[in-house]
Structure 1
C-alpha cells in the first residue's frame, strides 16, 4: 500500500481474533482550544470504502461543511441547546417547557445516543415508545417539535450535516372542541359579576378577547382615554423557579416556587392596539373610580405607582395573583348558573361574538393578537361555516319572481 501524503490521514486494519475484519481511517482536523489534536475516524469493510469516506471528510473540511458533534450524547447536546435559548432571552416558562420535555420524553428514549449517530428510525422509535406509554398525540407532537428545533440548531452550529427529525411526521392530533357561551349566557355572567370589584376585567375579557396575563398586566398608562383604545404591552405570568434552599411547604422541602413576573408579550402580534367601545370605556372609568376609593382606604399600605399602576390591581395596588383571579371567575360562573368553561374560553367566546356580528376575519385576528389570519380561520372554522351558509342566496332574493302577484 502506497504511503499517504501529509494531511490525507492514515488507514489501519481492524483485527478481531487474529483476523482482519475491516479497515479504519483517521484524519486530522487541526487542534482544539487546549492544543490537543482533533481527529475523526471512519470505518468500512474494504480499503476503498474507507478511502472514499476519508476523501469526503477532507472535501467537507475544505468547503467548511464538515459537521462535528464533539462526541456529545443527545442529552448533553440538549443541555447545551437549552442554555443557548436562555442566553437568547427566551421566556422563562417556555424554557421550562423545553427542559421538562427534554427531561421527561426525549432523554429517557434518546439521551445516551451519540448525537452524530442519531437516525430518523431512532426518532420514530422514541415516539412509538411514548405512544406505548400512553402519552397523548399532543405530547408526542410537542416532543417532536422540540427535538426538531434543537437539531436545527445543531445543523446551524455545524455539528450535524442534516436534521434527521425532519424526516418524521408528527402524529395526527384532533383540535380540541371549542367551548363558548351564547350571548344570553355572557349577559348572565356579566350581570352576576356586577358587584365584584374586578367586574371590569371580566367585561373587558369578553369584549376584547384579551388573555388573562394581558388583563392582569395592563397598566393605566396603556389606556388612551381620548382615542378610546388601549395598548397590550405587558403580560403578567407565573414563573416557576427553583425553591430557595431550606424552604418548606406543607412540612416538606419545597422543590420549586412561583413568582409573578411582568413580561412583554411573547409575539409581535400579541403587542397590539385594541379599539374600545363606549360601553367598555365607561366600565374602565367606573373601575378607576372604585380603585381610587381603594387607594384612599389603603393609605400608606397602597403599593401602586400612579399612571404606571396596574388597572386590575389587588386592594393594596399590587399585581393580582392569577390563581385568585381564576378562583373568583369560577365562583361567579357557578352563581350565574352558566356552563363551566376555562377562563381562556372567554377569549373564544369573544371571538365568536365578533364573528356573529360579521366582523371581518382580519379584524378579529388583529384584535385577538393572532400571528396570522389563517390561524383565526382554522380555529373558528365552524363559526365561519355558519356565516357561509347564511351567505347562500338566489336572484329571487333581490328581484320578485316573474309573473308573481303583488
Structure 2
C-alpha cells in the first residue's frame, strides 16, 4: 500500500503513517507515524529514510527469527498448491518431526552440524523409518533453501548432509503370486469382506487412504474409470480419521482406468452392499463407501492392514505389506513396458522422476533387454550382408 503524505489542517504541518506489515514474532500489524514537517518535500525525505531503515530492520529480524516462525510463514504460502491430504501430511511432519527438534533454532544459527544432529535424533533417537526422515528433512531443506535465496543463510550447509539409506529393493509379488492372490475368492472359505479393497489397490495402484475413501459415486462403470475425489486420512491433533476432499474440480482429480475383471468384482460387491443397506435400513450410514463395515461406516486402516495380513497367510504366499500392493502394481506395469508417464499418472506421483527412482529395481532387466535389441539389430544386419 502506498504511503500518502497529508497536511494537518489545524497545525499546517505535514505527516504520514507508514504501514510496515505484521511483526514476524507477534503477528500484529505495525504502523509508524511521523508528523511535524514544515514542507511536503521535507516529509518525503523523512519517509524515504524511514523506509530504508525499516527495510534493513526487517532483514535483521528475519535473521533472528526462530525457525518455527519462518517455517509457519513458508507453510501458509505453500498450502495454496498442496492437496488437502498432503497438507495433513506436512502438518504431521512439522508438528512431530520438525518443530520439537529445531523449532527454536534462530535462522542465523543454522549450520551443517545442527542439521546433521537433528537427522541423528530422528534416526537413532526416534528410530523413524528412512522414508519418514527423508520426508521431514525435505521440508526443512526446502525452507532453508528459500531462506538462502534471501541471503539469510548459506545453502552450502545442505550439500553434505548424510541421510539414512532407503531399502534398495521393494518387496513385491511376481505375476503368478499376484494372480494367486486375486483368485482368493475361490480359494479362501471365510474371506474378509475387505478383500475388494485389496483387489482395487492391486489392480489400480491406489493408496490405502484412497481405497478406504472410495465411494460408489466415484466409479464410472461405463467409462471404466475411478475418480479419486476423497481419501480417509488423519485429521486434527488426536490422530482421528476422517474424509479429506482431494479436489474441487474434475481437472484437479486423479483418474485411474480399471480392468474389466475389477469392474466385474465391483458389481458383485455392490449387490452385496445393496442387500446389507436394505437390512440395516435407517441405521446404515450414508457415506456411500465401497469398502465399509456392515453398517456403512469407514474401515480403520489398522483393521484393513490386519485383514490383509490374514488373507495373505491363508493363501500361503510371501508376506508383503499392504502398501506393497501398490509397488507390485507399478512393477508389473514397468516389466510389461507400460510408459512410465502413464504409471506416474496412475500412481499420482508428482513427476515421472519419482516413479523412475522408486522402481529403479526394474530398470536393470530393461537395460539388458534394450542391449539385446541392439544385438538382434546387428545380427540381422550381418545376415543381410551375406546375401
Aligned partner of 1:263 in structure 2 is 245
Q: Do the aligned partners of residues 373 and 99 (structure 1) sit closer, same or farther apart at CA in structure 2, a change above 3 Å counting? A: same
CA contact (8 A) 2:232 2:244 kept: yes
Equivalent residue number for residue 219 of structure 1: 215
**Between structures 1 and 2, the one with greater helix share:** 2
Decide whether aligned partners of structure 1 residues 398 and 199 sit closer, same or farther in structure 2, where only a CA change above 3 A counts: farther
Alpha-carbon distance, 1:302 to partner: 0.7
Rg larger for: 1
Which digits, 9 at most, give the CA deviation of each residue in 1:175-204, with x for residues without a partner? Answer: 322110111221222233553323222111
Secondary structure of the residue aligned to 2:183 is helix
Change (3 A) 1:149 1:377: closer
Using a 3 Å threshold, how does the CA distance of structure 1 residues 183 and 143 change in structure 2: closer, same or farther?
closer
Alignment of 1:324-339 (within 5 A): 324-339=303-318
Indicate the larger mover: 129-138 or 163-172.
129-138
Task: Give secondary structure in 2 for the equivalent of 1:274.
Answer: strand
TM-score (norm 1): 0.68
In structure 1, what is the equivalent of residue 266 of structure 2? 284
Report how far residue 327 of structure 1 moved: 1.1
| Structure 2 residue aligned with 1:43 | none
- Cα deviation digits, residues 348-374 of structure 1 (max 9, x gap): 000111122221111111111112112
What does residue 175 of structure 2 align with? 183
What is the aligned partner in structure 2 of residue 4 from structure 1? none
Which among 268, 286, 293 is matched to residue 314 of structure 1? 293
- Aligned counterpart in structure 2 of residue 235 of structure 1, from 231, 235, 250: 231
- Please say if residues 365 and 376 of structure 1, whose CA atoms lie closer than 8 Å, have aligned partners that are also in contact: yes
C-alpha displacement of 1:147: 3.0
Distance 1:378 1:76, change over 3 A: closer
Partners of 1:144 and 1:165 within 8 A in 2:
no
Q: Does 1:126 align with 2:114?
A: yes
Shift of residue 76, structure 1, vs aligned partner: 5.8
Q: Distance in 2 between matches of 1:151 and 1:231?
A: 36
Q: Take 2:175 and 2:162, find their aligned partners in 1: how far apart are those partners?
A: 36
Quote how far apart the aligned CAs of 1:130 are.
Answer: 3.6
Give, in angstroms, the shift of residue 114 of structure 1.
4.1
Task: Kindly indicate whether the alpha-carbon contact (under 8 Å) linking 1:207 and 1:350 is maintained by their aligned counterparts in 2.
Answer: yes
Contact 1:81 1:150 in 2 (8 A): no
RMSD: 3.9
